[in-house]
Amino acid sequence: MKVLLINGSPHPQGCTFTALNEVAAELQKCGVQTEIVHVGNKAIRGCIGCFKCSELGHCVFDNDLINEVAKKFAEADGLVVGSPVYYAGMNGTLKSFLDRLFFSTPFSKRFKVGAAVVSARRAGTTATFDQLNKFFTISEMPVVSSHYWNNVHGNSAQEVMQDEEGLQTMRSLGRNMAFLISAINAEKQRSGLPEEEPERMVTNFIR
């Protein structure tokens, strides 16, 4: 079992990383391999809607992390996306990254498990949390929860380490994620995944 963790913060060792690292440590205790990828400090452009990915099987822009991370995502059983809060939302680089990652990848994300982790000094965490979860729920990815919303608070990594409730939330998230991945894999081997309808329906409201 393997989980890919995405750090959307421009600070590789900052608050968001501290939270993700806590999740990763717990996953490792449960026998899950982890890898943290830092994207927030990269120059990543947004999707331009060219639809070339439908022909190529990957994003047409091959000079940043998107296609490299896509391969890791395809092999992973789960994805954790961590973001700082910028004006009550995820940071712009991470938004561009996720738009292109999810749109350009042809592989099925169905029943890979997903989780969002949010870091803030004070507020905006739940709005960002909701925004991140949209990527999972449109992709048939079960969303992993904890005993509280998956957020930590602090203005520095050192302050996050003092957020005992937040860190405990991260550890619970890691354990829950490991369990859910294991349960899905076991049921997949026993009975397979739920049946899919043969044709995907697309309804336009203007005809």
Record the pTM. 0.96
Nearest Cα neighbor of 6 from 43, 38, 50, 32 is 38
| The pLDDT value given to residue 170 | 98
Q: Which helix (H) or strand (E) holds 114?
A: strand 113-120
3-state secondary structure (DSSP) of residue 123: coil
Rounded to a whole number of angstroms, the distance between the first and last alpha carbons of the chain is: 46
pLDDT tens track of the chain, all 207 residues? 999 999 999 999 999 999 999 999 999 999 999 999 999 999 999 999 999 999 999 999 988 899 999 999 999 999 999 999 999 999 999 999 999 999 999 999 999 999 999 999 999 999 999 999 999 999 999 999 999 999 999 999 999 999 999 999 999 999 999 999 999 999 999 999 999 999 989 999 887
| 159-171 per-residue burial string, b: 16 or more CB within 10 A, e: under 16 | ebeebeebbebbb
- Other CB atoms within 10 A of residue 47 CB: 20
Rounded to 10°, the helix 92-104/66-75 angle is 60
In the chain, what are the domains?
2-191 (3.40.50.360)
Nearest Cα neighbor of 66 from 31, 91, 42, 32 is 42
How far apart CA 191 and CA 184 sit, in angstroms, is 10
